[in-house]
Amino acid sequence: MGMEGLLQNSTNFVLTGLITHPAFPGLLFAIVFSIFVVAITANVVMILLIHMDARLHTPMYFLLSQLSIMDTIYICITVPKMLQDLLSKDKTISFLGCAVQIFLYLTLIGGEFFLLGLMAYDRYVAVCNPLRYPLLMNRRVCLFMVVGSWVGGSLDGFMLTPVTMSFPFCRSREINHFFCEIPAVLKLSCIDTSLYETLMYACCVLMLLIPLSIISVSYMHILLTVHRMNAAEGRRKAFATCSSHIMVVSVFYGAAFYTNVLPHSYHTPEKDKVVSAFYTILTPMLNPLIYSLRNKDVAAALRKVLGRCGSSQSIRVVTVIRKD
């Protein structure tokens, strides 16, 4: 592409937002901001609990802490800009800012795809091969899984971001979305992008199929193992171990399936924005809540920390009273 095309692409874009002309922007801001605060707080608390409590220093919780790190970064990619646009008349985003948003979004969503698949493998080893669990899920393997997830996600970002942003944009600069999602950006291109969209569709399906295959095979073996168990306590423990992960996978992959797998005939700009809001805003909030509410170890660690804080506060109050 020549210098003229590069200069043309260097101008800013305009994000129309989740709702193009909201009747109550203040109310929408309050709702989104509340979700954002809860998501950040819940994920940071989850990370700190796993770091502080020795009982949570296991492969499962190490992977869970990485999921919380991804969710924290993930929601920070889109929501702060969305909140800014709700309060400001200037809803522009620079060409570079849009490219960075696309790259980080693709990296994080791809990383979560792979990480959730590897977390299913962790549950498979824990339920089906408990005696070999310390060997098969040692620290080196866990680090390899995490690095592999980040690298796998970033490959998607490195492949798709430069190609997407290299198209000439000679139509309206208004992106009918609240962030730079690739399908919404491609609609501004003045050349045919159908071949690229087909290749991107195949890439996204592949990104989904690899972790989904790991998840399906892992849980098939888990179900067979649980079915052979005679003790009801063993079945209950196995179900408790896997239920939170199954819920998170269902929520995340359900939205991803709509976005990346369903044909274009099923898509409308309004539906796309709602689904995108679900997995970019709500999912990062739901993931730590699902794990904390349904996991006894995490709940116990939280009570322990809160108990320490309460005890420290009581000691300070007693000390102040005695001094007086």
CATH number of residue 258's parent domain: 1.20.1070.10
Q: Which of 59-63, 94-98, 292-296 has the lowest mean pLDDT?
A: 292-296
Q: Which of 62-66, 96-100, 201-205, 314-318 has the lowest mean pLDDT?
A: 314-318
Specify if 3 maps to a domain.
no
Beta strands in the chain (DSSP E): 13-15, 92-93, 174-175
Specify if 4 maps to a domain.
no
Q: What is the mean pLDDT of residues 47-51?
A: 92
Domain that residue 81 falls in: 12-294
pTM for this predicted structure: 0.87
Specify if 204 maps to a domain.
yes
What is the average pLDDT score of the chain? 85
CA atoms within 13 A of residue 147's CA, in its CB half-sphere: 6
CA–CA separation, 324 vs 322, rounded Å? 5
312 vs 156: which has the higher pLDDT: 156
Q: What is the pLDDT of residues 244-282, one digit of tens each?
A: 888 888 888 887 777 777 766 677 888 888 888 888 899
Q: What is the mean pLDDT of residues 155-171?
A: 89
- Judged against a pLDDT cut of 70, whether residue 224 lies above it is answered with yes
Number of domains in the chain: 1
DSSP 217-257: HHHHHHHHHHHH---HHHHHHHHHHHHHHHHHHHHHHHHHH
Q: What is the pLDDT of residues 174-193, one digit of tens each?
A: 899 999 999 899 989 988 88
CA–CA separation, 111 vs 122, rounded Å? 16
Q: What is the pLDDT of residues 193-202, one digit of tens each?
A: 889 988 888 8
279 vs 218: which has the higher pLDDT: 218
Specify if 305 maps to a domain.
no
Question: Percentage of the chain surpassing pLDDT 90?
Answer: 48
Specify if 285 maps to a domain.
yes
- Which residues have C-beta within 8 Å of that of residue 286, sequence separation ≥ 6? 248, 251
Specify if 312 maps to a domain.
no
- Judged against a pLDDT cut of 90, whether residue 10 lies above it is answered with no
Specify if 301 maps to a domain.
no
Per-residue pLDDT band at 322 (split at 50, 70, 90): low
Specify if 306 maps to a domain.
no
